[in-house]
């Protein structure tokens, strides 16, 4: 990936990750965008975000659990 595209990808990913961290229930569309931008280096941060969201809810979101399980597969 050319350097400029990588910089833009990282800026967009960082922005979406901050928004998802701030939102108790990030939208599925936002999470889809994040997943489409992930590289191997970014996956752990995303897993951490999902685990924090799941851990904060007494009844965690089933779709969020499914996302986490897909990453674990």
**Is 1's pLDDT higher than 70?**
no
pLDDT score of 2: 85
Indicate whether 35 pLDDT > 70.
Answer: yes
Measured in Å, how far apart are the chain's first and last C-alpha atoms?
Answer: 26
Q: Diameter of the chain by CA atoms?
A: 43
Cβ neighbours of 65 (radius 10 Å):
13
Mean pLDDT of the 54-68 span: 93
Quote the radius of gyration of the chain (alpha carbons, Å): 13
Tell me the pTM. 0.89
pLDDT attached to residue 73: 86
What average pLDDT does range 45-70 have in this prediction? Answer: 94
- Tell me the per-residue pLDDT of 17-33, one tens digit each, with 9 for 90 and over: 999 999 988 999 999 99
Structural tokens at position 35: 């997943």
Query: Do residues 53 and 26 touch, judged by C-beta distance below 8 A?
Result: yes
């Amino acid at each position: 990936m050319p350097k400029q595209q990588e910089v833009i990808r990282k800026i967009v990913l960082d922005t979406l990750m901050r928004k998802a961290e701030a939102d108790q229930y990030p939208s599925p569309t936002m999470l889809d965008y994040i997943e489409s931008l992930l590289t191997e280096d970014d996956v752990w941060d995303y897993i951490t975000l999902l685990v924090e969201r799941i851990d904060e809810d007494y009844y965690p979101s089933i779709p969020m659990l499914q996302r986490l399980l897909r990453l674990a597969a």
